[in-house]
Amino acid sequence: MPKKSLFVWGGWSGHEPEQCVNIFAPLIRAAGYDVDVETSLDVYTDAARMATYDVITQVYTMSTISKEQEKGLLDAVRGGAGFAGWHGGMADAFRNNTEYQFMVGGQWVAHPGNIIDYTVQITDHDDPITAGLNDFAMHSEQYYMHTDPGNEVLATTTFGAKYCDWIDGTVMPVVWKRRWGAGKVFYTSLGHVAKDFDVPEAKEIVRRGILWAMR
């Protein structure tokens, strides 16, 4: 039986969730996995169905989640399903849900200057998610985040003084992985809109991260 992947998209349309899913769902299918795509968080409440998935990729920004939906997702990941995603679709999904944020390992709080030029530094050249990749440039939102010190950080970015001088020199995680119970969690702050994945490194990091998180 091939492994199964679930993509769930919705929330704020400015993050182009459908367009981004349409980039990555075919890549995961091409890797040999069955892929389902849903547009409602209600899928999380179907425990029997959720138990069949090996990785869940959520692209759902600035929304709300019910207690039952949140419990279903957290239980699935705690039970061994992977959870993988990017940008606000994972780390600015549910601002009122601290246990969800505990699982993710971080929460977006600002992007000084909005769309700017910045550099991503690869800090772990041995991990399978970032191996063989060099530092690269982005023209997008540089995410300032509150992050869990327990994250295993694979790439970072450094803030300058142009927009907020008090954060000059702050080194911020851009790619990390962690555990939640038996599940593996992957996150990157890259990917504000679909065009960001025209940057080959950004696209490859997400592809590898989803596959790494598989049960």
Residue 2 confidence (pLDDT): 86
The CA distance from 19 to 184, in Å, is: 25
For residue 203, what are the contacts with CB-CB under 8 A and spacing of at least 6?
A: 23, 197
pLDDT value, residue 213: 98
Sequential pLDDT tens for the chain (215 residues): 889 999 999 999 999 999 999 999 999 999 999 999 999 999 999 999 999 999 999 999 999 999 999 999 999 999 999 999 999 999 999 999 999 999 999 999 999 999 999 999 999 999 999 999 999 999 999 999 999 999 999 999 999 999 999 999 999 999 999 999 999 999 999 999 999 999 999 999 999 999 999 99
The CATH number of the domain holding residue 150 is: 3.40.50.880
Q: What pLDDT shows up at residue 20?
A: 98
Query: Which domain covers residue 102, as residue numbers?
Result: 4-213
144, 167 contact by CB (below 8 A): yes
pLDDT given at position 1: 80
pTM, two decimal places: 0.97
Q: How many domains does the chain have?
A: 1
CB of 23 within 8 A of CB of 197? yes
Round to whole Å and give the CA distance between 96 and 27.
32
Residues 6+ apart with CB under 8 A from 212: 82, 84, 128, 129, 177, 184, 186
User: Which residues, including other chains, have CB under 8 Å from residue 100's CB and lie 6 or more apart?
Assistant: 65, 70, 73, 74, 93, 94
